């Protein structure tokens, strides 16, 4: 801030200036400039001047001209009396949308960026935009039969410029019903390797609605949803030692609804958990249906349990499904026809193209990288207990920790300015620092990604429901607990991974063996890592909240879980939640609780270090 203020003072019309970091209306820390002048000047002029002198990340997000800067009794600037960002200006004069496309873009930016007003000259990234929000903009545009290339948003970050590059949707996918055989994807192959009980490997969520859930409306809604999202109609059979997946047509039963009256029940959560487990166990993937719905009527709002087999569902798909469920339910409730956004590339088409890609020169060029990774070695994780280890899921327990809101806020925003990082860079840096004392500076981790990387032209998976998850190993070799050493190392290590690891599973399960004779896939990390983002915020809608209760036993208790430790993290109510799953046949709970606390300690260190570095710059 000091350097920015110094440059601001070099502007001829500026008499006094101070730059400080303030929390804005989006609860993000931003640089704010306060100044007095000797002659009139424009904020846009100041912004342009600083842009010639400083890098983009050092340009204040907000500016305010004052008659005089507030001072303390000692003559120092009283920062407590400086206006908050919501009272200030961004330096861009508001210009209203002038045509239909600009109005649509402005409305979508307001929704996704959670700001009250957007002008056509406002800068997407200065309003808090990022690559994930850019994808959400592109997805929501399709409701209006419009398309956007993400690279255009990066190149033309104002609505005024971007609107000229918006195209009408060509509807290449159409509204055809997908039916027929579907080749298994890598993550589906992986699941079958882990379990002898494939019927019970489900995902589930419990949603509370104070106004209640109407079973008749839900039936109509899910009829629309399974017709629109084709993968929800899949079935899986074993024939002659091979798994055969089929996408069925619209004739058949694809979900079942069960109602429970629990108005007189004291422990509603226990009943929901019990019935959820029963419904989990009732799914049969060979003929379906793969969806179970349970409505629990309490008299004080209803709980809706949604169970969907993991073979056709992942965390990104939940976001898509929840958005369509909310929209369709509200329209049916109001007597209106359901209107869902246009279809994107089907799971069937993606699987077919993936198998073609599996033997392409583009993918085969990754083999040397994965061979090198495969030859790396990491020490086994130490354990508390020895003897015969049972890796069954029934022995998996959870120890959970939380990062406070202030540190979470900076982890998601300000901290990345120090080294231009992404969230996984910092989360994994903390993991490496935490485990260095266990593994002597070498940590092997299995990373999970969303798997929807843009590796095949003409494919759009933004709104496709299915299981796309990618899994790939990374070995970190750095014996340090200094954030200044670990963060750049981890960032660079992750940037070396081709296409964010999506090719690893394709090579392992889909590529012709003759092309990978020297790739043995022998590296078996004992730690799994998965960051799920702001999942709760993305799934919850107005009047509908995720219930904080068990959704039952989604995975068969005898299914093997091949990792000693499973680090999962997500943001909920402004806090980073870090549940660590572990096998109680290997560790005492106290050991894992200490591990959680050490991880959060190093994460706070990293955030504070990056915060200081970012502001110092």
Q: What is the pLDDT of residues 474-490, one digit of tens each?
A: 999 999 999 999 999 99
Site of tokens 């806090």: 575
Backbone angles phi, psi at 99, to 5 degrees: -145, 175
Q: pTM (2 decimals)?
A: 0.80
Structure-token pair, residue 25: 């209306």
DSSP state of 123: B
Per-residue model confidence (pLDDT) at position 72 = 86
Q: Which H/E stretch holds residue 603?
A: helix 589-616
Q: Which is higher by pLDDT, 310 or 463?
A: 310
Verify that 566 and 489 share a domain, yes or no: yes
Residue that terminates a domain, selected from 283, 318, 345:
345
Span 263-313, pLDDT tens digits = 988 899 999 999 999 999 999 999 889 999 999 999 889 999 999 999 999
For position 527, what pLDDT does the model report? 97
At 241 the pLDDT is 83
**Residue appearing with tokens 């750049």:** 488
Please give the pLDDT value at position 538. Answer: 72
Give the integer Cα–Cα distance in Å for 216 and 208.
17
Number of structural domains in the chain:
4
Residues 6 or more apart whose Cβ sits within 8 Å of residue 161: none
Q: Greater confidence, 170 or 110? A: 110
Exposed e or buried b for every residue in 76-109, given b needs 16+ CB within 10 A? eeeeeebeebeebebbbeeeebeeebbebbbebb
Give the CA distances from residue 594 to residues 393, 471, 575, 589, 601, in Å, rounded to whole numbers and listed in that order.
22, 27, 19, 9, 10
Q: Please, what is the Cα angle at 362 between 356 and 363, to 5 degrees?
A: 65
* Final residue of a structural domain among 345, 369, 402: 345
Looking at 54-58, 106-110, 427-431, which range is the least confident one? 54-58
Distance, in Å, from the CA atom of 436 to the CA atom of 445, rounded to the nearest integer, reads: 13
- Distance, CA of 57 to CA of 420 (rounded, Å): 10
Q: Check whether 617 has a pLDDT greater than 70.
A: no
Query: In the 3-class helix/strand/coil scheme, how is 487-544 assigned residue by residue?
Result: HHHHHHHHHCCHHHHHHHHHHHHCCCHHHCCCCCCCCCCCEEEEECCCHHHHHCECCE
Please indicate, yes or no, if residue 59 is contained in any of the structural domains.
Answer: yes
Say if residue 56 is in the same domain as residue 123. Answer: no
pLDDT of residue 174: 53
Looking at the structure, do residues 421 and 565 belong to the same domain, yes or no?
A: yes
Output the pLDDT for position 88: 45
Beta bridge partners of 446: 473, 528
Same domain, 229 and 313: yes
SS3 30: strand
At residue 95, does pLDDT exceed 70? yes
Residue 543 placed within a domain: no
- Mean pLDDT, residues 96-119 taken together: 87
Tell me if 559 sits within 8 A of 392, measured CB to CB.
yes
Domain stop point among 140, 168, 196: 168
Statement to judge: residues 429 and 560 lie in one domain: yes
> Strands, DSSP E only, in 148-290?
167-168, 180-182, 202-209, 234-239, 242-247, 256-261
Token pair recorded at residue 586 = 């290997």
Confidence of residue 59 (pLDDT cuts 50, 70, 90): confident
Query: What share of the chain in percent tops pLDDT 70?
Result: 93
- Residue 20 included in any domain: yes
List the CATH number of the domain containing 72.
Answer: 3.30.300.30
Confidence of residue 52 (pLDDT cuts 50, 70, 90): confident
Orientation angle between helical segments 315-333 and 215-228, nearest 10 degrees = 130
232-259 confidence digits (pLDDT tens): 999 999 888 899 999 999 998 999 999 9
Q: Cα(36)–Cα(609) distance, rounded to whole angstroms?
A: 32
The pLDDT of residue 21 is above 60 = yes
The Cα 443–Cα 460 span in angstroms is 35
Exposed/middle/buried for residue 43 (C-beta within 10 Å: 0-12, 13-18, 19+): buried
Give the tens place of pLDDT for each residue, 118-166.
888 887 755 655 666 777 788 888 878 888 876 688 678 789 889 999 9
Sign of the C-alpha dihedral computed for residues 356, 358, 363 and 364 taken in this order:
negative
Alpha helices in 201-357 (DSSP H): 215-228, 268-282, 315-333, 347-357
Return d(Cα 356, Cα 519) in angstroms, integer: 20
Let me know if residue 546 belongs to a domain.
no
Residue 92 lies in a domain: no
Give domain status of residue 174, yes or no: no
Residues 475, 604 within the same domain: yes
Q: Residue 291 maps to which CATH number?
A: 3.30.559.10
Residues 588 and 469 in one domain: yes
Same domain? 251 vs 333: yes
Among residues 83, 4, 89, 118, the alpha carbon closest in space to that of 51 is found at 4
Q: Across residues 69-98, what is the average pLDDT?
A: 74
What pLDDT score does 86 carry? 55
Question: Does the pLDDT value for residue 188 go beyond 70?
Answer: yes
Residues 318 and 411 in one domain: no
**For residue 614, what pLDDT is reported?**
74
DSSP string of 276-317, one letter each residue: HHHHHHH--TTT---EEEEEEE-SS-EEEEEEEEGGG--HHH
What is the tens place of the pLDDT at every residue in 338-392?
Answer: 999 888 899 999 999 999 999 999 999 999 999 999 999 999 999 999 888 889 9
Say which residue, 511 or 132, is predicted with more confidence. Answer: 511
- On whether the CB atoms of residues 514 and 380 are closer than 8 A, the answer is no
- Which band of pLDDT confidence, cut at 50, 70 and 90, is reported for residue 543? confident
- Percent over 90 (pLDDT), the chain: 60
Q: How long, in residues, is the chain?
A: 617
53 and 156 share one domain: no
Domain hosting residue 557, numbered range: 348-538+552-616
- For residue 587, the domain's CATH number is 3.30.559.30
Average pLDDT score, the chain:
89
How far apart, in whole angstroms, are the C-alpha atoms of residue 558 and residue 78? Answer: 63
Whose tokens are 């940037």? That residue is: 495
Asked whether residue 545 is assigned to any structural domain, the reply reads no
CATH at residue 112: 1.10.1200.10
pLDDT at 173 over 60: no
Is there a single domain that holds both residue 417 and residue 450? yes
Same domain, 561 and 450: yes
Query: Is 469 part of a structural domain of the chain?
Result: yes
Predicted pLDDT at 102: 94
pLDDT the model gives residue 135: 74
State the pairing for strand pair 302-309/291-297: antiparallel
């Amino acid at each position: 801030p000091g350097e920015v203020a110094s440059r601001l003072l070099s502007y001829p019309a500026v008499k006094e200036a101070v730059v400080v970091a303030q929390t804005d209306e989006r609860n993000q820390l931003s640089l704010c400039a306060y100044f007095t002048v000797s002659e009139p000047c424009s904020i846009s002029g100041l912004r342009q001047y600083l842009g010639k002198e400083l890098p983009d990340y050092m340009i204040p997000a907000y500016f305010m001209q004052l008659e005089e800067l507030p001072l303390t009794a000692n003559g120092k600037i009283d920062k407590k009396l400086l206006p908050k960002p919501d009272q200030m200006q961004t330096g861009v004069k508001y210009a209203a949308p002038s045509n239909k496309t600009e109005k649509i873009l402005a409305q979508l930016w307001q929704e996704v960026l959670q700001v009250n007003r957007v002008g056509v000259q406002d800068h997407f990234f200065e309003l808090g935009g990022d690559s994930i929000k850019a994808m959400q903009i592109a997805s929501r545009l399709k409701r209006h039969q419009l398309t956007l290339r993400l690279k255009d948003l990066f190149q033309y970050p104002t609505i005024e410029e971007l609107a000229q590059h918006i195209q009408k949707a060509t509807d290449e996918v159409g509204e055809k019903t997908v039916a027929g055989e579907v080749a298994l994807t890598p993550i589906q192959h992986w699941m079958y390797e882990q379990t002898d009980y494939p019927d019970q490997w489900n995902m589930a969520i419990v949603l509370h609605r104070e106004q209640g859930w109407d079973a008749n409306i839900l039936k109509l809604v899910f009829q629309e949803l399974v017709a629109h999202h084709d993968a929800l109609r899949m079935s899986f059979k074993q024939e002659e030692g091979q798994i055969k997946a089929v996408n069925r047509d619209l004739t058949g039963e694809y979900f079942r609804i069960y109602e429970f009256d629990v108005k007189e029940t004291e422990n509603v959560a226990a009943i929901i958990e019990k019935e959820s487990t029963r419904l989990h166990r009732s799914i049969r993937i060979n003929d379906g249906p793969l969806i179970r719905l349970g409505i629990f009527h309490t008299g004080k709002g209803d709980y809706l349990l949604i169970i969907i087999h993991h073979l056709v569902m992942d965390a990104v798909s939940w976001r898509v499904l929840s958005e369509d469920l909310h929209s369709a339910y509200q329209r049916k409730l109001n007597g209106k026809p359901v209107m869902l956004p246009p279809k994107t590339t089907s799971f069937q088409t993606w699987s077919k193209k993936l198998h073609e890609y599996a033997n392409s020169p583009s993918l085969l060029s990754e083999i040397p990288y994965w061979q090198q990774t495969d030859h790396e070695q990491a020490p086994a994780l130490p354990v508390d207990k020895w003897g015969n280890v049972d890796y069954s899921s029934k022995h998996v327990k959870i120890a959970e920790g939380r990062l406070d809101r202030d540190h979470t806020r900076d982890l998601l925003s300000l901290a990345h300015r120090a080294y231009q990082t992404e969230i996984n860079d910092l989360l994994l840096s903390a993991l490496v620092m935490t485990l260095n004392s266990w593994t002597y500076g070498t940590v092997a981790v299995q990373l999970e990604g969303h798997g929807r990387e843009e590796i095949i032209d003409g494919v759009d998976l933004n709104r496709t429901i299915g299981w796309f998850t990618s899994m790939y190993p990374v070995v970190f070799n750095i014996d340090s607990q200094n954030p200044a050493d670990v963060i750049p190392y981890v960032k660079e290590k992750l940037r070396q991974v081709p296409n964010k690891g999506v090719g690893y599973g394709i090579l392992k399960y889909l590529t012709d063996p003759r092309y990978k004779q020297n790739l043995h896939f022998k590296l078996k990390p004992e730690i799994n890592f998965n960051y799920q983002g702001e999942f709760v915020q993305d799934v919850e809608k107005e009047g509908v909240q995720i219930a904080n209760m068990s959704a039952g036993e989604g995975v068969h208790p005898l299914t093997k879980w091949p990792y000693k430790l499973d680090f999962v993290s997500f943001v909920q109510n402004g806090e980073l939640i870090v549940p660590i799953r572990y096998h109680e046949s290997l560790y005492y709970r106290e050991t894992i609780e200490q591990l959680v606390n050490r991880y959060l300690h190093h994460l706070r260190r990293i955030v504070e270090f990056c915060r200081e570095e970012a502001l110092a710059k």
